[in-house]
């Protein structure tokens, strides 16, 4: 039986649930829970601290051990997402080309939608080819707010 540890922390965009298994983060997602739950392990505490630093404009990249569960294709997409620099965006098509599947834009979009580790695996940095903000599992307004947060910070650098 797999054992998971979790916590629910506040953020400027709503509460976030962090789930860890053994020594890696398996999920970070916005949640509707109004009950906050303190991190009970060093890894959850580290994740909470890094997310707080991100929202406070003190962190532009994460150094957490990650273990997202997904297909080999999804894993490839999620790895590619982690190469998008803080404050920048790229298109689904650019990700498809980067992973060697230039015609797989829709599949990249679906892998993005199923990304279990929001913010840290920055699927919010992927936009439509025409520059539009398309799809985000936590809602377009959160995607827009995350991009604005990052772009504000990069402008002040």
pTM (predicted TM-score): 0.92
In this structure, the answer to whether residues 133 and 76 fall within a common structural domain is yes
CB-CB contact of 116 with 68 (8 Å): yes
Domain containing 36: what range?
A: 4-55
31 assigned to active site: no
- Give the total number of structural domains in the chain: 2
Indicate whether 80 and 144 sit together in one domain. Answer: yes
Residue 78, pLDDT above cutoff 50 = yes
Contacts of the segment 123-129: beta carbons below 8 A, 24+ positions apart:
123/81, 125/81, 125/84, 125/88, 125/89, 125/90, 125/150, 126/81, 126/84, 126/89, 126/90, 126/91, 126/92, 126/95, 127/89, 127/90, 127/91, 127/92, 128/91, 128/92, 129/91, 129/92, 129/93, 129/105
For residue 21, name the pLDDT band (cuts at 50, 70, 90). Answer: very high
Q: Are residue 80 and residue 107 in the same domain, yes or no?
A: yes
Residues 85 and 141 in one domain: yes
Same domain, 22 and 81: no
Question: Alpha-carbon distance 140 to 133, whole Å?
Answer: 7
What mean pLDDT do residues 130-136 have?
Answer: 79
Instruction: State percent of the chain over pLDDT 70.
Output: 97
Q: Indicate whether 66 belongs to any domain.
A: no
Catalytic residue among 7, 90, 105, 123: 123
pLDDT, mean over the chain? 93
- What separation in angstroms does the CA of 109 have from each of 24, 114, 141? 25, 9, 18
Judgement on whether residues 36 and 83 belong to the same structural domain of the protein: no
How many other β-carbons are positioned within 10 Å of the β-carbon of residue 19?
17
pLDDT at 50 over 90: yes
* 76 and 51 within one domain: no
Which pLDDT does position 157 carry in this prediction? 46
- Is pLDDT of 7 > 90? yes
For residue 155, pLDDT beyond 60: no
pLDDT the model gives residue 154: 64
């Amino acid at each position: 039986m797999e054992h998971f540890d979790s916590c629910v922390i506040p953020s400027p965009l709503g509460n976030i649930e962090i789930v860890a298994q053994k020594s890696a983060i398996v999920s970070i997602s916005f949640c509707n829970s109004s009950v906050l739950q303190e991190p009970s392990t060093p890894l959850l505490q580290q994740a909470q601290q890094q997310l707080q630093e991100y929202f406070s404009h003190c962190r532009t990249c994460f150094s957490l051990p990650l273990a997202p569960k997904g297909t080999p294709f999804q894993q490839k997409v999620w790895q590619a997402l982690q190469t998008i620099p803080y404050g920048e965006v790229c298109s689904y098509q650019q990700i498809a080309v980067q992973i060697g599947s230039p015609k797989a834009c829709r599949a990249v979009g679906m892998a993005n939608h199923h990304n279990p580790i929001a913010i840290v695996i920055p699927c919010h940095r992927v936009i439509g080819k025409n520059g539009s903000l398309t799809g985000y599992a936590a809602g377009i307004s959160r995607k827009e707010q995350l991009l604005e947060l990052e772009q504000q910070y990069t402008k002040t650098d």
